[in-house]
Chains A and B, each alone.
Chain A
Amino acid sequence: MTLNLTIVPEGDSALLIRFEQKINPAVNAQVLACMKAVREMQIEGISDLVPGYASLMVCYRPQVISYKALKERLAGMEIDTEAAAAETRTVVIPVCYGGEYGPDLAACAKRAGMSEEAFTALHCSVSYPVYMLGFMPGFPYLGGLDERLVTPRLETPRVKIPAGSVGIGGSQTGIYPMDSPGGWNLIGRTPLKIYDPMRQEPFLIHPGDLVRFVPVDEEEYHRLAQEVL
């Protein structure tokens, strides 16, 4: 499929390919298919491809290829959304919900008018598309949170949220890849390291993946945590 792409410069060393400016899985699928297509073109001089919700930023070295030449090559690109979608991986994230790992679960469930169990079950009931990674290393921007689980951010952000914490901030849900300050409601924690710079493959989750949360009890959490070490 040939899409009608808008390509604009982002300074002298990057350009932005823009899609319909909406947050939805179909638009983001085009972005990720476009990223795959550009990667496969193996254009010399490209240094980074950065997907957004509805755009793809292409960083390049102007000493190797000019804006004009790169834009011309990209404009005629073929994008196969279906083929890219067929390669989608599902990443399963075990989460210990509530208790010391999810100190805000009780309050979130109460606010939503349901039991902690029901809240947890609903959070685990769907696969969340990874639109992009950003904000910090390996931080996934996940879409598809059930409207009943939407919870406003904390009024006072926490100074330190432990790595692996699973939270809800407004209409987004996500996982903290490393210890950091933050204002999201913490509902659980995964023993997996979704980001580990010392690991051969530092990132568990990639743009375009589907993330599925699976509840585990504390015993299983500790067993998995041992395995990770």
Chain B
Amino acid sequence: MGVRILKGGMCTTIQDFGRTGWQNMGIRVCGVMDRRSFRIANLLLDNPENEAVMECTLIGPTLEFTSSMIISVTGGDFRPTLNDDPMPMYTAVYVTKGDVLRLGTAVTGRTCYIAFSNYLQIPVVMGSRSTDLTAGIGGFKGRALQAGDYIESRIKRRKYLPNFLSRTLPVREFDEDHATIRVVMGPQDDMFSRKGIETFLNSEYTVSGSFDRMGVRLDGRFIESKRGSDILSDGTVLGAIQVPSHGKPIVLLADHQTTGGYAKIAVAAGTDLPKLVQRRVGDHIRFQRITVEEAQQLASAEEKELQAMRNQIHRPCREVLECRLTAGRLKKLFPAE
């Protein structure tokens, strides 16, 4: 009763929102790179918000199911197939014993998520099922999935979901090769010259190949600091934009260290991080300044958007509605004997 990994893909890990509450002990948060796609994957299956999923990077895994369940795939387009037939993304899909899900190479974005209605049997370590690759804890044996791994389902039922045919969303994201990332300036923007800040906000940066779960380096114009950019090490967050003395920004991502010694010129708004982590090498990025209040309003707006999606997938499906109407009419034509 579970999922067998036939091929691991480039870096497929178990993730949830991450391991919070332990950062003061040097434990990294980890967790999913693209929280929006992660949440939509679970939402499609009425899973708990923080249910663990598989996060796939650039080249996806091949999985064989050993029991029936419902799955969903969201995020970048990895051209998923089920038993060699194209499988829709952003849709709840019923799979049964022996079915093979194959994810290819990312055509758009670089990360996608697979959620499971029967949940994955993964132990909780320090409050999370997320894989911490650098510390080798959490997830499946603290590492990326490999061929031959087998993950049990945590519950046996949940093979059916109400309004099953409605569980599809017309979402298509990450197609473009550029993005504008809104940022909250600081906490160390005062270490950069006026010219440095202008450069940061008014020029285009290119996504380099130095891009992993810890962070992404951007190429572009030199950001001038006032007197170097070393600071006394302090706490770092997902989306923090560090500028070391080489003057090129580094955006810290899910597996970032808990503390760091480089000045952070700004931090990306949480709602814009998915756009950032789904960028491909060579894509262009611009930064736009907003206030912390505006960033928090964007977060509230996204909550409403996700609630609307939740409502949409719980509406009875049109075809089903029409069936009922038809059945009702038939009933009148052929009254019970």
Known: A47-B20, A136-B135. A10 touches B240 (CB 8 A): yes
Query: Could you give 15 example pairs across A and B, Cβ below 8 Å?
Result: A11-B267, A11-B292, A12-B267, A13-B270, A16-B186, A48-B24, A50-B23, A52-B232, A53-B233, A54-B232, A57-B235, A62-B270, A136-B135, A137-B26, A203-B25
Name the residue of chain B whose CB is nearest to the CB of A22: B232
Q: Do A134 and B257 have beta carbons less than 8 Å apart?
A: yes
Q: Determine if A11 and B269 form an interchain contact, defined as CB atoms under 8 angstroms apart.
A: yes
Cβ of B259: which chain A residues have Cβ within 8 Å of it?
50, 52, 132, 134-135
The answer to whether A59 and B184 have CB atoms under 8 Å apart is: no
Distance from B56 Cβ to chain A, minimum over Cβ atoms (Å): 25
Q: Give a binary string over B9-24; 1 marks a CB under 8 Å from any A CB, 0 the rest.
A: 0000000000011111
Q: CB of B134 within 8 A of chain A?
A: yes
Interface size counted on chain A using CB atoms at 8 A: 46
Closest Cβ of chain A to B213, distance in Å, is: 15
- Residue-by-residue, is B256-287 near A (CB-CB < 8 Å gives 1, otherwise 0)? 01110000100111100000000000000000
Closest beta carbon of chain A to B178's beta carbon, Å: 22
Q: What residues on A are CB-neighbors of B22 within 8 Å?
A: 48
Interface residue? A141 (CB, 8 A): yes
B-chain residues with CB within 8 Å of residue A178 when the two chains form the complex: 135
With both beta carbons as reference points, the residue of chain A lying nearest to B136 in the complex is identified as A178
Interface pair A9/B25, CB less than 8 Å apart? no
Among A62, A134, A177, find the residue whose CB has the most chain B CB atoms closer than 10 A: A134
Our pick among B25, B137, B186, B303 for the contact of A10 (Cβ within 8 Å) is B186
In A50-103, the 8 Å CB interface with B consists of 50-57, 59, 62-63, 66-68
Given contacts A68-B293, A134-B26, A137-B25, contact A50 B235 (CB under 8 A): yes
- Residues of B contacting A35 in the complex (Cβ-Cβ under 8 angstroms): 24
**Taking the nearest CB of chain B, how far is it from the CB of A101, in angstroms?**
23
Q: Is the CB of B234 within 8 A of A53?
A: yes
5 shortest interchain CB distances as A-B pairs:
A57-B235, A11-B267, A52-B234, A134-B259, A50-B235
Known pairs A55-B235, A136-B26, A137-B27; A16 contacts B135 (CB<8 A): no
The tally of residues in B whose CB lies under 8 Å from a CB in A reads: 43
Closest to B183 in A: A11
**Overall SS of chain A's interface:** loop
Return the contact of B232 from the options A9, A11, A55, A138 (Cβ within 8 A): A55
Q: Nearest Cβ in chain A — how far from B107, in angstroms?
A: 31
Least CB distance from A110 to B in Å reads 30
Contacts of A114 in B (CB 8 A): none
Contacts of A132 in B (CB 8 A): 24, 233, 259
Complex Cα gap A178–B232 (Å) = 24
How far does the alpha carbon of A21 sit from the alpha carbon of B261 in the complex, in Å? 13
| A202 part of interface (Cβ distance < 8 Å) | yes
Complex contact B20–A10 (CB within 8 A): no
Chain A nearest CB from B117 CB (Å) reads: 26
User: A128 at the A/B interface (Cβ < 8 Å)?
Assistant: no
Nearest Cβ distance between residue A189 and chain B, in whole angstroms? 20
Residue of B nearest to A139 (CB): B26
